[in-house]
Structures are given as C-alpha cells and as structure tokens.
Structure 1
Amino acid sequence: MKPLLDGVRILDMSQMLAGPYCSMLMADLGAEVIKIESPGEGDRIRQMGIYRIGGQSAYFLSINRNKKSVTLNLKSEKGREIFYELVKKSDVVFDNLRPATLQKLGASYEHVKGHNPKIISCSITAFGPDGPYADHPAFDLTLQAISGAMSYTGEPGRPPVRMGLPMGDLAGALMAAFSISSALYKREKTGEGCKLDISLLDSVVSLHTYVVQYLVAGSPIPEQIGSGHISVVPYGAFKTADGWITIAIFTERFWENFCNILGVPELAKDPRFTTNNDRSKNRGVLIPMIEEKLIAKTTDEWVEILSKERIPCGALNTMDKVLQDEQLRHRDMIVAVEIPEGGKTEMLGNPVKAKDMDQMYRFSPELGEHTEQILTEILGLEELEINELRDNGII
C-alpha cells in the first residue's frame, strides 16, 4: 500500500528542531517534503554538535531524513518568483519563522494564498503571532519553564529540572503534524485551504491535562514529586540490587498481588495502605518499606517476577539498552539507513504503523542536493536557466 500522505507536497521553510521534526513525520508517511534553505548556509542545525555520520551532523540527520533540499534566496525578487511557482504546485507551506520575517520574505499566508487559493499554510512560533509575548525569542528550556512543566519536574527540595526530552519543541511539532493532516482532510472535503497557527507554549500547556484540572478543582499547587505520581501510590522508580525498576500500582488488585510478591501480605490489609487514597496520604511511610524489599534483587529478576503476575513494571533502560530492546526492534523502531558514501547507520523508525504500508528511509539531504531536480522536474527550467540562477546567487 502506498504511504498515507503519498501525493502531498510540502514546502518546508523550517529550521532547528520543532519544524523539521514535524515535516520528517510527514515525510515518513510519504509526503514529498522540499526543504527550502538559504544558499551557502542552510539550516543552522546542519552544524550542530560534534558527532557526524556520513559527513552530516547526527542531530540534523535525526530529523531530516526522507526530505529533499533546495537552496533558494528568498530575499531576492527572482528567488521569490521561483518560490511562488513552487507554491502553485504544492499543498502545504510550512515554517517556524517569526511573523515579521515571514512578511519580509513574502511568504505569509496572504502572500502564498494569492498564488494558490487552496494552499495550507502552517506556522510554528514560540508564543503565537500576537499577544504580549509574540516578539519574544524562546527555546525548549524557556518554554518548559514558562509553561510550568519544570515547576513540578524533579526531586522534592531540589532545583527545578528540565525534562530530558525536549517537549517544548516536540509538543508543537506533533500538534503541527496533526493540524496539517486535519487541514488536508478538510480541503479534500471542501476544496478550501487554511492558515494554521501553532504556538509551542500552547502545545506544552495543553499537555498538563489532569494536573491543571486538579488545580482548578482545588488541589494544592503541584510540586516536584520525582518519578512519583500526584495521585497514585506506589508509582515511580525504585532502586534494585543492580539498577532501577519502575512500578505502577493503579488498582487494588495490583496492590494485593504486589504485597504478596514482596513477602509482606500484611501491608494490603493495613488500614494506612488499604486504598490508593490511603496510600497517597501515607506515602512517606510506605515508600521506604517498598524500597527496602526491592533492593534485595536485580532489576531483571524483579521484572521477570512482577511481569509473571501482570504487575505493570519496566526496567529503567539507559539509551544504549533502548537501541537493543527486542520489542522496539520487533516493531522496526530501530532501522538501518543507507549512507550515500557507503555503509549503513541506525536510526529511530516511524512510530506510525499502517497495515501493508510501504515504508522507506532515505538519508538526510546535502544542502541543495535536489535543487536542479526540483527546478527541472516541477518547474520545467532548462539547464541554462538554472546555471544563470546559480551564478546570480539565487540558488
């Protein structure tokens, strides 16, 4: 079966993390993603980090596979003319530029709609195009802080901690991919394009879900609780003889079985711990008792014992072990991708599975690698015209 987004063409003007991760998700599902980059410079992430694979930044590779790269100087009149010709033959224009920059480049929704009334334009910004923060710069750390996510991440009594995953960026990327897919469906039904406005701050805040609803309902302001849960006990990471294990006891059935496995069946009947609400009130007494028992065996031993009894648990894996995880490899979440110069490298796979869908992975493009191909095949330019554009710094 052809990929889900086969036939969709996206002009991708985004850089850094949030935008490119979104467009990679869509490229993995078959969209033709044409990455528009400045001649001689390109996406700043191309130079990120000291680790390189096949001559490319490992960071850049991780979020730019399956794309095509075109260099185009949008600050020039001729460059904008070419861009508008591509807009006429595309479905989506995608960016993570500030509104003022987008206007200056002539790439705002109003501009591109004039050349393609059915175009879908999606912009990711830190705070949205208006409001008191609209012109403020921000990165993942800033967004995690302002969103409140850092206020209850980390161990009690310790300084605030940034989430290991850059959710300030990735939340917006996921919302953008979702919204673009929705807009494509709407256009299929109505023939209408639209403007999509994705704020990274909005996206992160939306993930608070029950935490905010608890607060509105009268709970205390959330505080750091480590790996624990605000309303479930026991729930968290526990030290074992050789590492860590995570355990989540969400129902009383799990609780009784868990106590029996630990060799302390009396805890299940103890009025301090009978129900989850009781355990939440007395977590300071209960957790040390559980820790004392779990330290006696290795992580693998506990995972085997608890899993047999259907107790929700999991080893706390370091990233090297994640890459070897048998479930992830079974699900093709660790895949081999060919390096153009020869050999292969491993990457994370596409988490979206559709029955019988064709799936392929191409190495991230070199800067401007597909410029000539796109100008020839899509716009019908001749070699002489392309050479002239290159000589004039347009491409």
Structure 2
Amino acid sequence: VKNQITLTFPDNSTRMYPTGTTLLEVAESIGTRLAKDAVAAQINGKLTDLTEAIDIDADINIITGDSADGHEVLLHSTAHLMAQAVKELFPNARVTIGPAIENRFYYDFDVENPFTDEDLASIEEKMRELAQNNYPVKRKVFSKDEAIDLFKSMDENYKVEIIQEISPEETLSAYQQDNFIDLCRGPHVPATGRIKYFKILNSSGAYWRGDENNKMLQRIYGTVFNTKKELKEYLHMLEEAKKRDHRKLGKELELFAFDDEIGPGLPLWLPKGTIIIEELEKLAKVTERKAGYQRVRTPHLTKGSLYKKSGHLKHYKESMYPAMDVDGIDYYVKPMNCPHHHKIYASVPRSYRDLPLRLAEYGTCYRYEKSGELFGLMRVRSMQMNDAHIYCTKEQFKEEFLSVCQMYLTYFKIFGIEKYEMDVCLHS
C-alpha cells in the first residue's frame, strides 16, 4: 500500500496526501471556507461522503451546497433530520421512505393520527435543536440479513419489507446520527450542523407505495437551501404560487367545481368555465382545419375485445375503470381515443393517395387515477382530450412530425408559453 496518494482537482492541479486521508480533511487543507461549505465530494465522478477515506490516486471534486449535487445531498440529509425529529416526538411512529424531489423532500410516516399544524411546528423546532447539536452522521454497511435483523429489532416493518425485496448479494448502507438510523444509499452531510436553512411546508395523506389498497400514511413535505436568502426567495415563490393556484382561482372565478356526489376527479364546468373551454376548442378547430385535419367523434363506451386487441387491457387495465357487463359482454368507458381512430381509418378502403390522413377529436376519456394522485384539473378521472392521429407513409413522416411541432409552437406563442420541452417516443 502506498504511503502517499496523488489527488487531481477540477482545475487540473494536483496535491499529495497521506493514504487514508478523508475528503473532509482534503477540503480543510484547501481552505477553511470550503471545508465549512462542503456537503459531499466526488471521487472519479462518483458522489460520496466527505468522511470517506481515500487510498488511491483519484480525481477529486469537493461539492458545496450551492451546486445541484450539493442541494440534493442537503435535501436528503434534511429528510433524515425530519424523520429523527418525528421519532423523538412520536416514538410510536413508523418510518417508510423519504426521497428528495425538486427543491423539496418528503417523508411518509405511519402514525395513529394526522399531523396538525402544531405538530409540524414542533417537528421543525426539534429539527433545529438536532441540527444545533451537530451530531456526526456515520455511514454503516450491512448484509441483507443484518439489515433485516436491525430494523426488525426497531419494529420498523416498512423498512423490513423494502429490504426483503433487495437482492441478497447487494450490500446495504444506513446512516446514523445520534440514536436515529435509517436505510439509505447516501451520501449525506458529515454532521447535522451543516443543515441550517430549512422549513417544514405541509402534510398530507399518502398510501403506502401509492396503492390505495394499502394503509394511508402521513406525508410531511419540507425544503432546505444553502443560504437564508435562497430559502426566503423559495418560500416567497410558493406564497405567490398559492395566489395563482388554479383550484383557488377556479372556485373564486366560478369556472369549475367538484362535488362528492359526482365523484372525485370528475369536474363540473360552470357557465363561465364552459365559455373558456368553448373558445379554446374553437381556436383548436380553426387551427387544425387550416392544417388539414378532419374532425371525427367516437363513443364513450366500447367492447373490451377492442382494448384487448389494442393492448390496453394487458398494459393499462389498472388505470381503466372496471368493466360493466352488458348482455354478457364486457364494456369499458374509453381511456384513450387511439383504437377508435384506427377503426375509423379502417372503416373504408384506403389508397396511398389518401395519405396523409389527419383525424382529430375532442374526445372525452375516463381514467381511473388513484385517489392520492388526483390534483384539481391537473390529474382528473374525466377529461376532454384534444387528440389526433396522422396516417402517412414513411416518406411523409418527417414533414408531418415537424408540422405538428410547429402547430404546438404556434399555440405556445399565443399563450405566452416560453418554457417547454418536446419529446419523441418511438416503438421499442
């Protein structure tokens, strides 16, 4: 084993260090400020903990909280801090999963009663106390059996369920801070004191693993940033977004409503909202007519045999409403327009001279979105889908595809949409 290793930094400079030097010690050797701001590091491009010791020559990059990778580490580390706070305040709570998402994190807990606003305030206060205690965060490695035994002894049955699905050959890691330990790949901040500028946002119900047949858990959302200024700006943005929340505006402006006797995810369009819908449909019809589209109309109900042929029953049945028996035949409410348009295309003899053929419809579709996924008009169970299918030759494809993209760009310009992303999906 070499006594010295050579580390190369992003600016291509190199330094010699004793074998076994930790990445945090490397950061300290460069500068006190860097060591203070560091939350993780990269060894040959792989993100890892600052506490990891190095015994090989390597390319090194110290990661601070103001970078994308650093923010991800802060988010995940703060999720663990929140889980630790919950366990201290609610010892009977069972922890499940706590991932980082865009600018936020959440953690799902199995508790007897939903969290109140007072509970959330207490949790945040406890998090600040735990952060100020600056507990070292230590990575531990286990075999599958060792991990199962550990979490069984802690009565964390959700963790045991997760571990049991992991391959026996896989090495598992967990992170411990004081008396709290949780299964995680990492990396994490080296100590809880690195977590400073955070906020608990809200809580909601969520089914275990997103399956409404499972137990309803309590999900707490939070956020964290590298600086007080960034946190303040993000919280201000959230407050402004609340004012523009379409659910709030829809009620205040009398555009649409939901009713328990109608059913969740099934919007009722009020007169003012219907005017908006009809104007949008009018714009689309005029635009598409100019582009050579022909409008069609299809039924809301269809035999199951069509969806078996189209593949929907094999790949999409869980997101469809259950079948209804009509004269001994299964019928389904329509989840998509695709097979119906194909039937329209096949309804009369066609020649290559008919191509390209462009069919369009404002078709009402019904999808059985899980109750936990419903969100205003963003995720519903009934929708009027402006759908189209183009039948063309291989040689015509490029021009047709680009024409569709151009039509979308026209719509984006009309509505002032400047941030967008277009993807093309191909058959596998």
Tell me the TM-score normalised to structure 2 length. 0.27
Flag the structure with larger Rg: 2
Q: Whose RCO is larger (CA < 8 A, sep 6+)?
A: 1
Query: Is the strand fraction higher in 1 or 2?
Result: 2
Tell me the TM-score normalised to structure 1 length. 0.28
